[in-house]
Structure 1
Amino acid sequence: MTARTLRVAIMTDETGWHTSRLKRALRARGAQGRCVDLADCRIDTTWAAHGLVIPGYGRGLPDAVIVRGVAGGSFEQVTVRLGILHALRELGVPVYNDARAIERSVDKSMTTFLLHRAGIATPPAWAGESLPHARRVVMREAAAGREVVLKPLFGSQGKGLVRLGGSGENGCAALPSLRDYGGLAYLQRFVPPTRTPGFDWRVLVVGGKAVTAMRRVSEHWVHNVAQGGRCEAQPLTPELAQLAERASAALGLDYAGIDVVPCDDPERGAQVIEVNGVAAWRGLQSVTSFDIAGCIVDDLLTRRLARAQAGAPREAVA
């Protein structure tokens, strides 16, 4: 009897380079990948015993899920989309990364809290709805000769970042209205570059292990590739690997892109500035021969799916 082909749903609101790489890696391992938009999924307790409708899977469920994107929307829409991922996990379907981990990593304030709680070096940060308090933070930091960065709480790719405080030639903007930031100020202390041009590191962690890294170099203080940063190969040192692995573990991520910035402060050393739970890796793949999509798929199939299959039985897949 021929074994049934494993079916993996790739949750994404846009197909392209990343989804093509994942589907190819799945095919190479005898599995089938299908792109599904979470916005097209729904809860329907009349449809099947498990109560979910996942397009392309009839009345059944995929064997596993890889999350490549959760589209923005109203609070209610995003809640239900994440709820679908929560429900799949409750039904025993491995979700990579699952909704709990995505919620932790997409919210910069929770990321900061969890990194701080785990004792991981990360710049001091403040998050709150009070505009007067945010202004006091900026003034206090400026008085100490420091700057802070205002970031969208749910932002990515370096969009919407504003440096605040400072003086002289490099003086930066005062705190703007928080209307464009959802009425909330997330402020992170700016870490000055250690050289010109400045750079940071992106370290990819898969299955709890740092597997590859790169430097993102830019004349601008924002180093994201989407903002013009260039990718350079970077040896994965034991220090970088350990820091990234600890950051990923603190948020409970299956795979993660950990952004690390060098620091002149000998007491703090390198610091984690962001953790990406739906990490892109096209730039990283351009400077390494390491097969990133293949590594992600291998970890899903050999660790997460194998662990799920060894556990309690779940709803049968049609």
Structure 2
Amino acid sequence: MSAARGDTVVIFTEDADWHTRNLKAAIERTGLAVVVLSLNDCGFAIGGTAHGLMLPGFGDTLPVAAFVRLIAKGTTEQITARLGLLHALRELGVKVMNDARAVERCVDKSMTSFLIATAGLPTPRSFVGEDREAMQALVDEAPGDMVLKPLFGAQGKGIRRIPARTALPEPDKVGGVYYLQDFVTQPGGEARADAPYQDWRVFVVGGQVAAAMIRRSPRWITNIHQGAIGEAAPPDAEAFDYAVRATAAVGADYAGVDLIEDARGGFQVLEVNSMPAWKGLQKTTEIDIAGRLARHVVEVLGSTRTTSESAISRPAVSLTPAR
């Protein structure tokens, strides 16, 4: 039997950065305790602990919930083990936000695009393959420019715009996988000084839009980390509906959804981020985004708690081998 530390939430991250500090403080304001851990320091202890996991400071107990802020880069084996631990926590009844399934679906942009389209949401044509010749033919036959993205990537890093008949890079430059997506022409065509490129970041928490911003840039890459400027977005029923549905499509509790307006004035869903930053977004709104995340944790757990509440215990399967 193992006890759940009913007053404790784990934040998995690699850096006690602004996001972690704000989220920790927001969760603590609800009366829950917070422990910050790196997944690198955790692992499996089958036969060593009652629940079969190694969580520093927890022993035979479990957190009541876990919040995944960052997963460090690593080898295939390291990433598999870290995601395996998140899968195991979910199997043990710990609420993980976002759980390993959602993280896997969002990290792999091909699966994200597939799930968005399968959910009936508008999204640019996307092609993923390993054969450079076959992917080059798609570029050459495309009705317009395409965008080459790293299959695993964030913050606009490594993205390239590929005009028709432009030679694709060698496979070793793209990790052996080509992810191609149609370039979306925005209303009014190419950006001008008075009409820069723009897209939307919509932050969804618990099936509701918490906040949204429009990111504007003179360059076609509109990530805040690439120099774009964010401003509060007006409420838009279509954009918000698409963002909520896209978040549900990947199975995420919270997400940062990127959308873009096309030449016809409608929205298309570009990406869903399962570990989104929100510092840039927070600067555009008075809504306490970390507070919304903390409240969602409490709501999911089913009741508010105070620091005076005693720890809640619950049965768990013992993974100690019989002797």
The answer to whether the 8 A contact 2:205-2:293 is kept is yes
Contact 1:212/1:236, CA 8 A, preserved across alignment: no
CA distance in 2, matches of 1:313, 1:296: 25
Offset from partner CA, 1:78-132 (integer Å, 9 cap, x none): 0000000000000000000100011111110000100111110100000011111
SS of the residue corresponding to residue 36 of structure 2 reads: strand
Partner Cα separation in structure 2 for residue 178 and residue 280 of structure 1: 30
Q: 1:265 offset after TM fit, Å?
A: 2.9
Which one of the candidate residues 250, 259, 283 is aligned to 2:280?
283
Aligned partner (choices 151, 164, 177) of residue 170 of structure 2: 177
Match of 2:138, as an amino acid? V
Separation in structure 2 between the aligned mates of residue 314 and residue 236 of structure 1, nearest angstrom: 45
Measure how far apart 1:166 and its partner are.
4.5
Q: Please, which runs of 5 or more residues in structure 1 have no aligned partner?
A: 168-172
Whether 2:63 is the aligned partner of 1:62: answer: yes
Deviation at 1:32, TM superposition (A): 1.3
Q: Point out the more displaced range, 32-41 or 51-60.
A: 51-60
Match of 1:170 in 2: none
Report if the CA contact (8 A) 2:140-2:164 is conserved.
no
Q: Give TM-score, length-normalised by structure 1.
A: 0.90
CA contact (8 A) 2:8 2:32 kept: yes
- Once residues 114 and 283 of structure 1 are traced to their aligned partners in structure 2, the CA distance between those partners, rounded to angstroms, is 27
Distance 1:289 1:152 in 2: 34
Residue 198 of structure 2 corresponds to 199
Q: Is the 8 A contact 1:108 1:153 kept in 2?
A: yes
Q: Among the aligned pairs, what percent are the same residue? A: 46
Which structure is higher in RCO with an 8 Å CA cutoff and minimum separation 6? 2
> Structure 2 matches for 1:31-110, cutoff 5 A?
31-110=32-111
Query: Per the alignment, do residues 314 and 212 of structure 1 end up closer, same or farther by CA in structure 2, a change over 3 Å counting?
Result: farther
The gaps in structure 2 that reach 5 residues or longer are 304-312, 318-323
Instruction: Give the equivalent residue in structure 2 for 1:223.
Output: 222
**What secondary structure, in the 3-state scheme, does the structure 1 residue paired with 2:262 have?**
coil
**Cα RMSD (Å):** 1.9
Partner of 1:64: helix, strand, or coil?
A: strand
Q: Distance in 1 between matches of 2:102 and 2:316?
A: 24
Aligned to 1:156: 154
Find the residue that maps to 2:302 and give its secondary structure: helix
The match for 1:23 is 24
Contact 1:123 1:189 in 2 (8 A): yes
One-letter code aligned to 1:16: D
The CA deviation at 1:41 is 0.3
The residue type paired with residue 191 of structure 1 is: V
TM (normalized to structure 2)? 0.89
Deviation of the 1:5 alpha carbon = 6.5
Q: Could you say which structure has the higher helix fraction?
A: 1
Is the CA contact (8 Å cut-off) linking 2:122 and 2:267 kept in structure 1?
yes
Count residues with an aligned counterpart.
299
| Cα shift at 1:193 | 3.1
Matched, 1:274 2:271: yes
TM superposition shift of 1:50? 0.7
